[in-house]
Amino acid sequence: MSNKVISIEYTLNDANTNEQLDTNVGKAPLEFISGQGQIIPGLEAKLVDLKAGESSDVLVNPADAYGEYNEQAVQTIPKEQFAGVDLVEGMSLYGTSEEGETVQVVVKSIGEDDVTVDYNHPMAGKTLMFSVKVVDVRDATEEEIQTGVVGGLEAAGGCGCGEGGCGNH
């Protein structure tokens, strides 16, 4: 079931510790377009079978979520590369990968001359339990399918036409 806009309310727990990791209950629902890889595959696979108003508990293993924890993604970097940053253990920093993509790292430890950072997603290696309620399901518009943005580009804050505008509004 591709190209459906699915709106959900969820609470996310670590399935092993039952620690609550995230929730949007009482806030705006999370909206995504099915079939476009906008949410983790293990959750999307279960949601596409639900109708508006239905609820489900969805267990998602690491391989279908944020991947297994990779020890090789922990690196020690010279402290001088963090000049001007007030480092705190556990903080998240954002940088650019060699491929030009934005990457998030978590500061694991701060030494005298170096800093150990973890490139794993903070939820890597975790088995996740989503308690989900489907708020709404509808067909995506042609613009939503093309742009991948629920509500279209104008809803996302722009038309995608650049500074000069395109005059089609």
Per residue in 87-117, pLDDT tens? 999 999 988 777 888 888 999 999 999 999 9
Q: Answer yes or no: are the C-beta atoms of 42 and 61 closer than 8 Å.
A: yes
Q: What are phi and psi of 129, to 5 degrees?
A: -120, 115
pLDDT single digits (tens) 128-148: 999 999 999 999 999 999 999
Fold of domain 4-66+124-155: Chitinase A; domain 3 (3.10.50)
d(CA 60, CA 14) in angstroms, rounded, equals: 10
What pLDDT, on a 0 to 100 scale, did the predictor assign at position 95? 80
- 2 or 35, greater pLDDT: 35
Output b/e per residue, 96-125; b: 16+ Cβ within 10 A: eeeeeeeeebbbeeeeeebbbbbbbbebbe
d(CA 153, CA 136) in angstroms, rounded, equals: 21
Q: Helices in the chain by DSSP H: which ranges? A: 41-47, 142-147, 152-155
- The CATH number for 71-118, chosen from 3.90.1150.10, 2.40.10.330, 1.10.10.60, 3.40.30.10, is 2.40.10.330
- Region 35-41 average pLDDT: 94
d(CA 82, CA 91) in angstroms, rounded, equals: 13
Residue 160 has pLDDT above 60, yes or no: no
Looking at the chain, the domain(s) classified CATH 2.40.10.330 span: 71-118
d(CA 4, CA 47) in angstroms, rounded, equals: 11
Q: Which pLDDT band, with edges at 50, 70 and 90, does 167 fall under?
A: very low
Q: What is the largest CA-CA distance in the chain?
A: 57
